[in-house]
Amino acid sequence: MHRHRAWAQGSGAGGLGFEGGRESRGRPRRASEDHPRVIPTLATQEGDRPRKKKRAPARPTRWSAVAPASTSNLGPGFDCLGLALRLPMRVSAARIPSGFSIRRLGEGSDLAIDPQHDKVLGAFRHLFRIAREPVPTVALTIRSEIPLARGLGSSAAAIVAGLTLANHWLGGPYARDEIFREAIRLEGHPDNVAPAIFGGLTLSMPRLDGSVEALHLRVPRDLALTLVIPALHVSTEKARALLPSSLPLPFAAGNTARAMALTHALSTRRFELLAEALRDVYHVPYRARLIPGFDRVVEAGCRAGAYGVTISGSGPTLLAFHAPRLGARIGRAMVRAFARHRVKARAAPGRIATKGAVARTHL
């Protein structure tokens, strides 16, 4: 970078002096008789220009974060398998003098939720308290493409977006594993928050010390997904209340085998195993009671070419695994099957989000 200095101004040190318009010769000219004498400086010699004041760095005016939707369980992987989907929840925050406000756009915009009970704001404030820092008063704008109460991880996305936003605002003191720990604490289970944080397909493995580690699993490129979303709402609490408190040991052992077979089928591309590997005894038979025509819809999807169909999360969305370019046909068949049971539904591609939550600053 070039540095600039001021030019030194003044008369030359030698040459003729003038007094009263006449030449003055024969004696040295005193400084008082003309302009003050200027001693050449380095600035004079280099010919630098006046320095400009540096502008203060621009202060952030807005912070934002985005977190993906997710489908969890994938049949027998109850509370441990999760897959991130390209249905984003975007959250932006601007500082305001006092209080908190929330503006909702997209999915959930018709809900009237007390800001004190909002999951995004709750997670945002939680991380500041963990960091022992004052909680800033903010106006939040939440724009979501994730259908609510449909088994697509809207709650997990809200928590992860709030934590990610707060961590970025604080300067990023927490690693993703630490954000994962706090997300589990707020959500209660890891299967949706793990893919929302890390992206892709994750296996949440509990450790002996009570911590949970998220393991990344590969999804074959030649495996496609279709979501069939009925016009029903099922709360996670209601869906969990249906689950049995215990199961016979042979049933549990069979479920463990199918969960392992599912990961094997995905890693080796043995898609013919998916029909059996997706079967579950922990939650699907009980949650299926909340979905009219469940068995018929699953059957319609398989007849149309799906390798297998299961419930996404706690439902009522159904998740079909199939070969590429079959999604439209499978989706139409399942939507028609729902219609025969007087349930409106829509089909959408289940595009995988390979990256998890991110945040940025806006100047």
Instruction: Determine if the peptide bond prior to 316 is cis (ω within 30°).
Output: yes
Tell me whether residue 153 is annotated as binding.
yes
Q: Does the annotation flag 327 for ligand binding?
A: no
Q: What single string gives the DSSP state of each residue in 49-68?
A: PPPPPPPPPPPP-EEEEEEE
148 is known to lie in a ligand binding site: yes
Q: Quick one: which of 113, 213, 210, 119 has its CA closest to 160?
A: 119
194 is in an annotated binding site: no
150 is an annotated ligand-binding site residue? yes
- The annotation status of 170 as a binding-site residue, yes or no, is no
Residue 99, annotated as binding a ligand: no
57: its two tokens: 């760095």
147 marked as part of a ligand binding site: yes
Please give the Cα distance from 326 to 305 (Å, whole number): 7
Q: Where are the alpha helices (DSSP H) in the chain?
A: 42-46, 119-130, 154-169, 176-187, 193-198, 236-241, 249-268, 274-277, 284-287, 294-303, 327-339
Interatomic CA distance for residues 153 and 87, integer angstroms: 10
Find out whether 151 is annotated in a ligand binding site: yes
Q: Which residues pair with 68 in a beta bridge?
A: 88
Question: Is 121 among the annotated ligand-binding positions?
Answer: no
Q: How far apart are CA 224 and CA 18, in angstroms?
A: 94
Contacts of 238 (CB under 8 A, 6+ apart): 290
Q: Binding site residues for ATP, as ranges? A: 147-157
Known binding residues are 147-157
